[in-house]
């Protein structure tokens, strides 16, 4: 039996590394691109990526390289696993490498700050030769550490072309990684990206020690905000009650693994944005996403009070406790108030 064409995972952070490991374990040829040559050499030699995914073994079948052109050469699927604000710069040079059949799946979660585009939109923009039906995302509640440990995980493959979505579903499916499909690409992208803003808010709530009741109310209002923005962008409301909406929001707001939540907790405890970011070399997507989501919400006239509060804390010096006061003391209202925006405003207030 001829070997299937390889899958190229672009980005050797925790999630890119975990997906390459998962593909290899499932018997699929996989390549992993690391930006820095030393990092690629280290992973290839030690079969570990201690900086980003400590303790996980990288199978020998995973080809690791810092040569981007070589990594995508002949690959049937590109998995874009770099920080969302780096997607354009990393992928643009590969525009000439696109073939008719190339499938491109982004696992980067965020909104490009300059253009306010989701990552699949950025990919369509920089890869005009790509078949738009084959460009999408793989999102959901999936902390890399747990996927590497083969703990049960469920994600969503969102691509416009149904056959391509089914192909991506089969490619990533393993006994511990369940893959569902959803044609609502923008909905899945909004859910997976904006949840990082809510994770920062949830972390602030933890840092202020507000308790579980407050965080549950925050998550509820957060999903209402995410849903309102998604609907304004043409998403299907049902997507936000699914894995890429509720599921990803819940895991990132409550998990100890969440970098965005941990960052918010430090800010809640009084650290500045810069101080809180200084604790990790990993990108905290929620910071830039807060700025782009706020701009997107204002452009579309969507009310997003939590996002506004997080933005004011991170970029305008508002004290976290004052922001909470402001959110808590808004006049109480009927739980579902049409004046507060469309469906799911579970706690309009």
Q: Which residues are annotated as a binding site for NADPH?
A: 14-15, 35-36, 52, 109, 144, 259, 283, 285
- Which residue from 217, 232, 295, 326 is in contact with its own copies, where contact means CB under 8 A? 217
As annotated, the binding site includes 14-15, 35-36, 52, 109, 140, 142, 144, 195, 248, 258-260, 283, 285
Per-residue x/- track, 308-327, its own copies (CB under 8 A)? ----------------x---
Q: What is the DSSP string of 34-84?
A: -SSHHHHHHHHHHS-BTTTBTT----TTEEEES-HHHHHTT-SEEEE-S-G
* 323, two tokens: 């922001």
Query: For the purposes of burial, counting CB atoms within 10 Å of the CB of 2, is it exposed (0-12), middle (13-18) or buried (19 or more)?
Result: exposed
Residues between 129 and 158 with contacts to its own copies, criterion CB under 8 A: 141-143, 146-147, 149, 151-154, 156
Alpha-carbon span 154 to 171, nearest angstrom: 14
Nearest distance from C-beta of residue 7 to its own copies, angstroms: 19
Nearest distance from C-beta of residue 334 to its own copies, angstroms: 5
User: Do residues 220 and 346 lie in contact, with contact meaning Cβ atoms separated by under 8 Å?
Assistant: yes
* 340, two tokens: 């507060």
With H, G, I as helix, E, B as strand and everything else as coil, classify residue 224.
helix
User: Do residues 74 and 6 lie in contact, with contact meaning Cβ atoms separated by under 8 Å?
Assistant: yes
Nearer residue to its own copies within complex by CB, 125 or 146: 146
Alpha-carbon span 160 to 142, nearest angstrom: 22
Alpha-carbon span 68 to 13, nearest angstrom: 15
User: For its own copies, which stretch binds (CB under 8 A), given 91-99, 112-120, 211-219, 301-309?
Assistant: 211-219
Alpha-carbon span 8 to 50, nearest angstrom: 21
Strand 62-65 relative to strand 153-158, pairing: unpaired
User: Do residues 261 and 199 lie in contact, with contact meaning Cβ atoms separated by under 8 Å?
Assistant: yes
Nearest distance from C-beta of residue 37 to its own copies, angstroms: 32
Nearer residue to its own copies within complex by CB, 281 or 329: 329
Residues between 251 and 280 with contacts to its own copies, criterion CB under 8 A: 251, 254-257
Write down the catalytic residue from 134, 195, 215, 228: 195
- Which residue from 229, 246, 304, 314 is in contact with its own copies, where contact means CB under 8 A? 246
Nearer residue to its own copies within complex by CB, 64 or 327: 327
User: For its own copies, which stretch binds (CB under 8 A), given 20-28, 84-92, 114-122, 239-247?
Assistant: 239-247
Nearest distance from C-beta of residue 231 to its own copies, angstroms: 13
Which helix or strand (DSSP H or E) is residue 138 part of?
A: strand 135-139
- Which residues, other chains included, contact 221 with Cβ-Cβ below 8 Å and sequence gap of 6+? 305, 306, 346, 347, 349
Q: Does residue 238 bind its own copies (CB under 8 A)?
A: yes
Known catalytic membership, residue 215: no
User: For its own copies, which stretch binds (CB under 8 A), given 10-18, 69-77, 91-99, 214-222?
Assistant: 214-222
With H, G, I as helix, E, B as strand and everything else as coil, classify residue 276.
helix
Residues in the chain: 349
# binding residues, its own copies (CB under 8 A): 65
Q: Report the catalytic residues.
A: 195
- Give the binding site for its own copies (CB under 8 A): 141-143, 146-147, 149, 151-154, 156, 169, 173, 175-176, 178-183, 210-217, 219-220, 223-224, 227, 236, 238-239, 241-243, 245-248, 250-251, 254-257, 324, 328-329, 332-336, 343-349
């Amino acid at each position: 039996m001829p070997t299937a064409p390889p899958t190229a995972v672009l980005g050797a952070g925790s999630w890119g590394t975990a997906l390459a490991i998962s593909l290899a374990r499932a018997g699929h040829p996989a390549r992993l691109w690391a930006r820095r040559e030393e990092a690629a050499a280290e992973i290839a030699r030690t079969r570990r990526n201690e900086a980003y995914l400590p303790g996980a073994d990288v199978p020998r079948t995973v080809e690791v390289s810092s040569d981007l052109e070589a990594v995508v050469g002949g690959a049937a699927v590109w998995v874009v696993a770099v920080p969302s604000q780096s997607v354009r710069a990393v992928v643009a040079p590969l525009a000439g490498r696109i073939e008719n059949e190339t499938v491109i799946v982004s696992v980067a979660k965020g909104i490009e700050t300059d253009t306010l585009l989701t990552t699949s939109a950025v990919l369509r923009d920089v890869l005009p030769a790509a078949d738009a039906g084959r460009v999408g995302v793989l999102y959901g509640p999936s902390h890399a550490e747990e996927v590497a440990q083969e703990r049960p995980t469920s994600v969503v493959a969102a691509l416009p072309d149904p056959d391509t979505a089914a192909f991506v579903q089969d490619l990533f499916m393993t006994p511990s990684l369940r893959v569902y499909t959803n044609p609502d690409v923008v909905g899945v992208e909004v859910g997976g990206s904006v949840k990082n803003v809510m994770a920062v808010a949830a972390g602030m709530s933890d840092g202020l020690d507000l308790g579980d009741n407050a965080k549950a109310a925050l998550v509820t209002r957060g999903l209402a905000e995410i849903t309102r923005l998604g609907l304004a962008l043409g998403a299907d409301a049902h997507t936000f009650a699914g894995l890429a909406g509720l599921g990803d929001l819940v895991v990132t707001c409550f998990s100890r693994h969440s970098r965005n939540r941990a960052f918010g907790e430090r800010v809640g405890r009084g650290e500045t944005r810069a101080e809180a970011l200084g604790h990790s070399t990993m990108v905290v997507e929620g910071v830039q996403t807060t700025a782009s989501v706020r701009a997107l919400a204002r452009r579309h006239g969507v009310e997003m009070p939590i996002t506004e509060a997080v933005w004011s804390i991170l970029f305008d010096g508002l004290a976290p406790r004052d922001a909470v006061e402001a959110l808590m003391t808004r006049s109480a209202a009927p739980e579902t108030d049409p004046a507060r925006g469309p469906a799911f405003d579970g706690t309009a207030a």
